[in-house]
Amino acid sequence: MLAVNKLELISRNAVEIVTEEELRALVESKKKPRAYVGYEPSGEIHLGHMMTVNKLMDLQNAGFEVVVLLADVHAYLNEKGDFDEIEKIAEYNKKAFIALGLDESKAKFVLGSSYQLEKDYTLDILKMARITTLNRARRSMDEVSRRKDDPVVSQMIYPLMQALDIAHLRIDLAVGGIDQRKIHMLARENLPKLGYPSPVCLHTPILLGLDGQKMSSSKGNYISIKDSEEVVIKKLKKAYCPAGRVDGNPVIEIMKYHIFPRFEKVVVEREEKFGGDVEYSSFDELIKDFESGKLHPADLKMAAAKYLNKLLENSRKKLN
């Protein structure tokens, strides 16, 4: 694959790359660079998780060695349960990511506790703590903390560990949602002070919930990879999808970030009285028709449900 094509694949649907020049140099200079995403083990894997899983698949296709950190110690620090509970969920998460299409033969799954309790790692945490202000650590944690208004000391340790994971896993490219940006910038700034290279960072968008608000497990405004075909259709029928509006439209986001990257064409099925079936070979073509009113929200929702169910078919079989 030519370098330019690799770069397009690596960067598609990314909100930000820090920096593009460094990414180009990495791709051109290293035959098999290492990329990673860290996940706090979660009982519900949903379309939000799929954003970064999709990017990991892009990176595998671009020749990267992919590392998936199942961050059990981070989850413990962030009050997600005890270690026995978290470890069981981590194993489920590994199966889920493979079921979604991550190539197990090309991906390395690492449990955080397998190295984060070692002497060298612990010493690095203390070194990082000496050069990181309390305000900087707290700001880095604001987006992902469970106790933003009343933080505990463990939450200050969390971003220091996440920065050090990049170093101890020998990562060239750190991938995460845009909510991870502050932690990644902390890593870029402070890792060189400890003698480690500064990583290239790639940030994916944060997917909206189906109601157009922030996705939240408490609101149930998401689609789980274990949802049945019927549930996916039901949820999308009720999804917020104002006619002609692209920004802030969760159904449009599903088409952009999940459907079009995985299918060469999308066929929207319609009755003849509504114009009959229409085929799109690019997301831009679909957007043009939706903004002009040629594509009705109800038809868009049903198309999203159809193709999303195709994507989730394998995960349902392997996880249910």
Give average pLDDT by consecutive 10-residue segment, the chain, 320 residues. Answer: 75 96 95 96 90 95 96 92 93 94 92 97 97 90 67 87 98 96 96 98 96 86 94 97 97 97 94 92 97 96 97 84
**Quick one: CATH architecture of 229-319?**
Orthogonal Bundle (1.10)
Q: What is the pLDDT of residue 141?
A: 80
Q: Counting beta carbons within 10 angstroms of the beta carbon of residue 308, is it exposed (0 to 12), middle (13 to 18) or buried (19 or more)?
A: buried
> CATH for 3-204?
3.40.50.620
Q: What is the pLDDT of residue 148?
A: 65
Radius of gyration of the chain, Cα coordinates, nearest whole angstrom: 20
Q: Where are the domains of the chain?
A: 3-204, 229-319
Tell me whether strands 200-204 and 16-18 are parallel, antiparallel or unpaired. antiparallel
pTM for the model? 0.92
Q: What is the pLDDT of residue 249?
A: 98
Q: What is the pLDDT of residue 96?
A: 93
Q: What is the pLDDT of residue 218?
A: 77
The β-bridge partners of 34 are 65
